Amino acid sequence: ANNFEGQTNKIFCGPTSAAIVLNALRVRNSKLQLPQDQTLLQSRDRKYLPGGGKWSPYYERYTQNNVFIKSPKSRSSVLGKPARDKRGKILKNKKGKPVKDFGFQIRQFAALLEGHGLNVKLRVATDKLDNNMIKKEFIANLKTKGDYIIANYKRAVLKQPGGGHISPIGAYHKDSDSFLVLDVTPNKADWVWVDSELFISAMKTFDTKENRGYVLVKEGKI
C-alpha cells in the first residue's frame, strides 16, 4: 500500500502494477541503484532548481514510464502501434485493418517482470487449473513476506465497466472467502473485496491469444 499509485492513462494498468510491486520490493534497498524518471519534470522547470542543475530532484524508483526500459514489448506497441512482420510490413486482420495489441497480455506481462530480474511464476488460468489450487496458492503467497500477486482479469465478470484489467492483490479475508483487489484505476473502481470463486472466474476468461491469469512475484537474484 505504501507504494500504490493509480494509472496515469486508460491503458497502463500493467505498467502501473509492475511499478507498484517493483517499488515494494526494491525501494530503500541499498544494494540496488534504481532508475530515475527524468520525464516527470520538464526542462523549463529544472532551471529553477538549486545547484546549477547538478542537484537531482528525482527519486530513484520505478514509474509507469521507466518500467519499459526492461520490457520485451515496446511502449508504442502497448499504446497501439500496428504490428509488423519480419520484413517490416504492417500486419492486417481478415477485415484488412492493422493488427494492434494494446496493453499487456498475461504472458507478455510476466516477461516484463522477468526483464527486471524478478522471480516470476506464471499461471494461465485455463479450465484445467483447479480453483482450490489457485486459492491455496494465492493465500500462501499473501502470507509470505516479499511475495506478491498481480492478476489479469475481466472486469465484466465483476460487474464493473471496462474490459481486461491488471491489478495487484492485497489480502485474503477468510470469513467472507474473498480477495482484496488493489484496483489501479481509481477513476473507475475502488479497492474491492471479491468472492474468491468469482474472481477466479474473472481470470478464466479469454484474452487475445489465450486465457488471462496471474503471476506470483518475488525478488530474483540480486
DSSP string, 74-103: -HHHHTTPPPB-TTSPBPB-TTSPBP---S
Give yes or no for residue 209 having a pLDDT over 80: yes
pLDDT for 99: 85
In this prediction, residue 37 has a pLDDT band, given cuts at 50, 70 and 90, of very high
Region 1-5: what's the mean pLDDT? 94
pLDDT digits (tens, 9 = 90+) for 126-155: 999 999 999 999 999 999 999 999 999 999
CB of 200 closer than 8 Å to CB of 48: no
Which carries the bigger pLDDT value, residue 150 or residue 54? Answer: 150
Hey, what's the cell of 190? 475502488
pLDDT at 222 over 70: no
Nearest CA to 211 among 134, 137, 127? 127
Q: How far apart are CA 78 and CA 48, in angstroms?
A: 34
Please state the separation of Cα 42 from the chain's center in Å: 26
Q: What percent of the chain has pLDDT over 90?
A: 77
